[in-house]
Amino acid sequence: MKSPSSLVLFSLVACSGFVSAAVPLSSIKRVTNLPTASNRFIVEVDTAADIPSKRDSASLHERLYESIRARDIGFQVDKEFNEAGVFVGAALTLVDPADATALETSPGVKAIRPVKVFPAPRPVKIHVITGLDDPQIPPDTESTHILTGVDKLHAEGITGAGIKIGILDTGIDYTHPALGGGFGPGHKVIGGFDLVGDDYDGSNTPVPDPDPLDQCNGHGTHVAGIIGADPLANPFNISGVAFSASLSSYRVFGCAGSVTDDVLVDALLMGFRDGQDIMTLSLGGADGWTESTSEVLASRLVERGKIITIAASNDGASGSWYSSSPGNGINVISVASLDNTVIPIQTATVQGAQHDPIPYFSLFPIPVTEPLPIFATSNDTTVVDDACNPLPDDTPDLSGFLVVVRRGTCSFVQKLQNIADKGGKLTLIYDNGSGFAAIDVGDFNATLIQADDGAFLVSEFVAGVPITVSFPQEGGLIQFPDDTGGLISAFTSYGPSNDFFFKPAVAAPGGNILSTLPVPLGSYGVESGTSMATPFIAGSSALLLSVKGKSQAVTSNARTLFETTAQTISSSHTDGDPLQTVTQQGAGLVNVFNAIHSTTVLSPGEFILNDTAHFNGKHTLTVKNTGNSQKRYSVRHVPAGTAVTFQPGTIFPAVGPVPLTTAAASVSFSTSSFTLAPGASRSVVATFTLPEGDESTFPLYSGFIHVATDVEDLHVSYIGLGASLINAQVLDDTDVFFGEKIPAVIDASGNFQTSPTNYTFDSDTGDFPVLLWRQAFGTPIFRVDLVDANVNFIPTISSRQVKEDTGTPITFPRVRLGGTFARVPIIGSILEVDFLTRNNEDPNDNGFNTVAFDTPTFANGTTIPNGLYKYLIRSLKVTGDSSKEEDFESWLSPIVGVFA
Ligand SMILES: *[C@@H]1O[C@H](CO)[C@@H](O)[C@H](O)[C@H]1NC(C)=O
Ligand SMILES: *[C@@H]1O[C@H](CO)[C@@H](O)[C@H](O)[C@H]1NC(C)=O
Ligand SMILES: *[C@@H]1O[C@H](CO)[C@@H](O)[C@H](O)[C@H]1NC(C)=O
Ligand SMILES: *[C@@H]1O[C@H](CO)[C@@H](O)[C@H](O)[C@H]1NC(C)=O
Ligand SMILES: *[C@@H]1O[C@H](CO)[C@@H](O)[C@H](O)[C@H]1NC(C)=O
Ligand SMILES: *[C@@H]1O[C@H](CO)[C@@H](O)[C@H](O)[C@H]1NC(C)=O
Ligand SMILES: *[C@@H]1O[C@H](CO)[C@@H](O)[C@H](O)[C@H]1NC(C)=O
């Protein structure tokens, strides 16, 4: 997952109208950059199909391969999947990707989906320090557990015993004392498998082995500690949410890089076979749809009695409609992150003057035992570029000092290098504003302190007061209040999915979380991300199952239970600001104690009002009193902020934090108060009316229907759109991103083609066209067809390597499109990509799409005859009908001459 710090472009656009030419054309690489592996597909077999074979005894898989071979399709089997009733099929690499069409129509093939690539789970922030230990006895005082009622469950002895949790991640360092110190039956980590090996990076061949040990990455070890850290075996009193549960590690990432769908499918099926009750995946990538293989399978496993928790992702900076796969899986629990209320950090003390202990950003004390005199690199606490230049010649040898320097202008490392050049070994950097966070200082010994503390130290230095600073090796740890504590982490990706599913589902603490790291990587660290929130819900699910049992009734209702008993979260700490949009907080912060002990059951957890064209404004909720006394209930509506999901007057989604307004839906109820005897239930009908709103900003209304007694307060969460999704422009036809209008064909010299151009498709000289476009919004179907240069067709937009290995990128052109769509005369299909996500604002991440047409071939592999053509690109609007030409946006390229 990408870090939110990498945004830029549209935030500029947002505040200053249209800033153009931001992304230089020279930065566009002449390769295909779609998030699917070029020639690799997952084929799902219809087990009921009668696939003919020459041998009666042939297995289903053999029959499948036989029938594919009979169609002259060259392929290699990467993986076989054989879980009857769940998923039967294979991951195949095609010799010629163009054969995908033929593959799709082979007997017994139920579905074929391209292999998606998921980025490595990257934490948003991390700070690890090398350190020391001081073991203590632990009560559960963890702030994250107090926020969510987990501490009270632990006090009742509910710790997840007897529940099996499978973690699909980078592996686990099970040698860690807090994670049991061993592997296999009898240990905390009872099993698992390494599906990929250290060197796997998502593009090479996995090298599996039975041992999922991770001592090179660390992400999965942090995740495992959140679920399972043994409170008796660590110096920070960290206790896993379900520390008595049994863990299994399915290692799907190597030390670095990505993972592909087929590996995830394999791991999910392995976990299913191993009898995991819960599987958790702190991974994902922008998708917007619910259709990838791992999403479909994860969702199916929930129908088979499993609970599956998956990160909502860390793309909050990219704004709405940017939900992630596989978290979009319809039945899974997609998890948002809440910032912890405190951050564990150390303090230094001052001798020779009165001053409170100085908090510094480090989990472990700086290992310096002698008090140090200080030296300030500037006597002026307003200097903007302190120590950005080499220090003056008369600077003393700094090796015996604690150096104090102000943040600003140049990099930390540059300042620290200048200080090191004068012998400095240890530095405190004071902030130049109100910032206070973990910083990256490379190999130097330095950390951040607050501006006020820095100003104090400098003033003492200037005054010539001979103070010293020391670093207590014990007792210096404090729980520093986090400014954004208790709010949804800004990095949490916003939903909903483009097909309007409710994503994310619930939130859990994920910002500034202390947990385990591999022993060689420092043993403990603080990390942030929805990756940290996700195992919290997995652990919470284990607590639930350990109390209520593992029946299908419990597992398939888990999401609803967590949602209806969650706590709704504000959008800020300012009084009067609205609740955070449900599209980022889901149903709110999980309260596991309430989920388990509530004696009212409310269902469903979600009302989906959909868009205005498919408005579903009438919903029924059911309330059941499962307590043993009569209860009086009242029903009320509490709206959340309405997310203004598009920048007014543009086709661009608003970047995060997405602006909120207080324009809210109104709701009437069939009854607003009633009494229920023990065991009784009744239903209430809620009828919604959406407010007026500027449809062009695609306002997303959301909120909560509370059903409360004096002591209980549950809610159903709702989302609805005050616009019709078919009106969302899908193709970017502006010049905002590149300073010139797109879509465009880029010629051999890297310029936008503006006049007829001939190409030789000579790979040595690179003389081939590259298509460049942006999806302003996700699309169910993106297609490129070759048409006659003189085609009589008016597009909606007026004109003025699937990786390195192969030719034309597939997915596959489908034959099913009929209607007016089929009336446009085409010469042949070049490309079809289904369920494409929208692009984001970051040119270095998912800012735009390119496809290199480096061979002169149709999608089916046949060579395009020499001649003059145009490319016709068409993108189906969301909720559009694929047989209707008018539901597509389209663009015709300038004339492209094929002279190979
Ligand atoms: C751990 O718990 C013990 C007992 O309550 C307490 O004295 C100690 O300060 C705690 N340690 C940390 C690091 O919070
Ligand atoms: C602090 O320094 C950073 C880095 O140079 C700079 O971006 C920021 O504007 C400065 N802030 C203040 C308040 O001076
Ligand atoms: C960091 O501190 C350690 C221990 O005091 C010292 O050995 C090391 O040289 C310091 N590193 C740098 C880059 O100053
Ligand atoms: C900064 O203050 C110290 C202590 O008063 C003094 O020795 C030094 O000369 C001052 N530096 C400058 C550049 O004024
Ligand atoms: C919203 O409406 C569209 C169009 O009818 C439909 O395809 C989609 O499934 C609906 N979404 C949900 C979550 O019901
Ligand atoms: C492309 O090649 C054709 C056939 O050789 C020729 O007629 C045409 O003028 C060429 N176009 C350009 C722009 O060079
Ligand atoms: C491939 O597609 C082209 C263009 O539609 C068509 O002319 C050709 O017959 C197809 N070839 C095969 C082998 O189906």
| Tokens of residue 144, six digits | 């994250």
pLDDT tens, 273-324?
Answer: 999 999 999 999 999 999 999 999 999 999 999 999 999 999 999 999 999 9
48 pLDDT tier (thresholds 50, 70, 90): confident
Residues of the chain with CATH 3.50.30.30: 345-481
Q: Which residues have a Cβ under 8 Å from the Cβ of 555 and sit 6 or more positions away?
A: 277, 302, 305, 306, 307, 545
Backbone angles phi, psi at 858, to 5 degrees: -75, 170
CATH of domain 36-118: 3.30.70.80
pLDDT of res. 19:
32
Backbone angles phi, psi at 91, to 5 degrees: -95, 125
Distance 362 CA to ligand 3 centre (A): 16
Determine if ligand 3 sits within 6 Å of the CB of residue 855: no
29 pLDDT tier (thresholds 50, 70, 90): confident
pLDDT of res. 434:
87
Distance 256 CA to ligand 2 centre (A): 32
Backbone angles phi, psi at 339, to 5 degrees: -75, 130
Give the 3-state secondary structure of 78-111.
Answer: EEEEEECCCEEEEEEEECCHHHHHHHHCCCCEEE
C-alpha distances in angstroms, 570 versus 246, 273, 529, 639, 699? 35, 41, 19, 11, 18
% residues pLDDT > 90 (the chain): 76
Q: State the closest ligand 4 atom to the C-alpha of 376, by its place in the atom list counted from 1.
A: 1
User: Is the per-residue pLDDT at 36 higher than 80?
Assistant: no
806 pLDDT tier (thresholds 50, 70, 90): very low
pLDDT of res. 815:
53
* Window from 45-54, 169-178, 340-349, 610-619 with minimum mean pLDDT: 45-54
Determine if ligand 2 sits within 6 Å of the CB of residue 408: yes
| Tokens of residue 841, six digits | 């604002």
859 pLDDT tier (thresholds 50, 70, 90): confident
Determine if ligand 2 sits within 6 Å of the CB of residue 414: no
Mean pLDDT of the chain: 90
pLDDT tens, 379-428?
Answer: 999 999 999 999 999 999 999 999 999 999 999 999 999 999 999 999 99
For 355, counting Cβ atoms within 10 Å of its Cβ (0-12 exposed, 13-18 middle, 19+ buried), the class is middle
- Of all ligands present, the nearest one to the C-alpha of 385 is 2
Distance 586 CA to ligand 5 centre (A): 18
pLDDT of res. 123:
62
Ligand 6 site, CB within 6 A: 756-758, 897, 899
* Window from 162-171, 794-803, 867-876 with minimum mean pLDDT: 794-803
The protein residue with its alpha carbon nearest to ligand 5, atom 5, reads 614
Determine if ligand 3 sits within 6 Å of the CB of residue 417: no
pLDDT of res. 120:
67
Determine if ligand 1 sits within 6 Å of the CB of residue 139: yes
Residues of the chain with CATH 3.30.70.80: 36-118
In the three-class reduction of DSSP (H, G, I as helix; E, B as strand; rest coil), residue 23 is classed as coil
Distance 379 CA to ligand 4 centre (A): 6
**How far is C-alpha 370 from the geometric centre of its chain's CA atoms?**
45
pLDDT tens, 564-622?
Answer: 999 999 999 999 999 999 999 999 999 999 999 999 999 999 999 999 999 999 999 99
User: Is the per-residue pLDDT at 18 higher than 60?
Assistant: no
Determine if ligand 2 sits within 6 Å of the CB of residue 612: no
Pair type for strands 324-325 and 426-430: unpaired
* Residues carrying an active site annotation: 169, 219, 531
Residues of the chain with CATH 3.40.50.200: 141-340+489-596
In the three-class reduction of DSSP (H, G, I as helix; E, B as strand; rest coil), residue 794 is classed as coil
Distance 751 CA to ligand 6 centre (A): 19
- Of all ligands present, the nearest one to the C-alpha of 373 is 4
* Window from 521-530, 585-594, 663-672 with minimum mean pLDDT: 521-530
Distance 758 CA to ligand 6 centre (A): 6
User: Is the per-residue pLDDT at 162 higher than 80?
Assistant: yes
442 pLDDT tier (thresholds 50, 70, 90): confident
CATH of domain 141-340+489-596: 3.40.50.200
- pLDDT: which is higher, 56 or 827: 827
Name which CATH class applies to 598-728: mainly beta
pLDDT of res. 5:
24
Residues of the chain with CATH 2.60.40.10: 598-728
* Window from 405-419, 631-645, 712-726, 803-817 with minimum mean pLDDT: 803-817
860 pLDDT tier (thresholds 50, 70, 90): confident
pLDDT tens, 122-161?
Answer: 566 555 433 323 233 356 778 999 999 999 999 999 999 9
- Of all ligands present, the nearest one to the C-alpha of 408 is 2
Evaluated on CA atoms 781, 784, 786, 792, the torsion sign reads positive
Distance 129 CA to ligand 3 centre (A): 13
User: Is the per-residue pLDDT at 102 higher than 70?
Assistant: yes
The pLDDT of 531-542, averaged and rounded, is 98
The protein residue with its alpha carbon nearest to ligand 1, atom 9, reads 136
pLDDT tens, 195-252?
Answer: 999 999 998 999 999 999 999 999 999 999 999 999 989 888 899 999 999 999 999 9
CATH of domain 345-481: 3.50.30.30
User: How many other CB atoms sit within 10 Å of the CB of residue 6?
Assistant: 14
The protein residue with its alpha carbon nearest to ligand 2, atom 3, reads 408
> Can you give the pTM of this predicted structure?
0.91
- Of all ligands present, the nearest one to the C-alpha of 785 is 7
Backbone angles phi, psi at 267, to 5 degrees: -65, -40
pLDDT of res. 696:
95
Q: Ligand 6, residues 747, 758, 767: which to mutate, most atoms within 8 A of Cβ?
A: 758
In order, the DSSP letters of 611-655 are: -GGG---EEEEEEEE-SSS-EEEEEEEEEBPEEE-B-TTSSSBPP
φ/ψ bin of 578: left (φ > 0), alpha (ψ from -120 to 50), beta (otherwise):
beta
